[in-house]
Amino acid sequence: MLKLLKTIMRAGEATVKYPFAPLEVSPGFRGKPELDAAQCIACAACASACPANALTILTDEQQDTRTWQLFLGRCIYCGRCEEVCPTRAITLSENFELTVTNKADLYTRATFHLQHCKQCGKPFAAQKSVDVAVKLLTQQLNAEQNEQFLRQQASICPGCKQHAALVNGCVKNLSSGNREAQ
């Protein structure tokens, strides 16, 4: 018996002292998803990639807003949202203590304003998304002098751009077809 007690004393503690002492998590631990709303452009890539449908993007055209929402009750902490985010706005923290007393505390929300089309007036994308696209195009083309032109082009919805391309394309095709017939 004495020999057994000596062996136990030499072995030390087999468990951690959590919850009485903080628990250190291993590197790469996937805890609560955190959103940096200043980085987010509301592109909805995270909502499309979420297999548990914990992330949703709701567009309210009456209020001219797009709302990003995370419900932690559905989150499976897979990390897909972090992987697909183009601006690194979502990161998985080391926080795993997510107990709440109110179900509403499981929701995280961020609201973004919508960009209106210069031609038809309908909202079509988050304003931050359009601003980031113009900034990236300006940098890539190395053309700060064309930023105003790029901003005007980015302020037109895809439907109006497509309509303009079809109308201009058909006129061009019809006129070239008429020349060939003559």
At 65, which CATH number?
3.30.70.3270
Long-range pairs for 55-61: beta carbons < 8 A, 24 or more residues apart: 55/81, 59/114, 59/123, 61/114, 61/122, 61/123
Shared domain for 97 and 32, answered yes or no, is yes
Domain of 71 in residue numbering reads as 26-113
| Pairwise CA distance, residues 99 & 11, whole Å | 34
* pTM passes above 0.75: no
Q: Place 177 in a pLDDT band, splitting at 50, 70 and 90.
A: very low
DSSP 6: H
Three-state SS annotation for 64-127: CEEEEEEECCCCCCCCHHHHHCCCCCEEECCCCCCCCCCHHHHEEEEEEEEEECCCCCCEEEEH
**pLDDT tens sequence across 5-52:** 888 788 877 788 888 888 888 888 999 999 999 999 999 999 999 999
Work out the percent of the chain whose per-residue pLDDT is above 90.
43
Domain boundary among 113, 135, 152: 113
Quickly tell me which residue has 């077809």 as its tokens: 177
Per the CB < 8 A criterion, the answer to whether 81 and 30 are in contact is no
Residue 138 lies in a domain: yes
Token code pair at residue 47: 């909502």
Residue 178 lies in a domain: no
Residue 166 lies in a domain: yes
Number of domains in the chain: 2
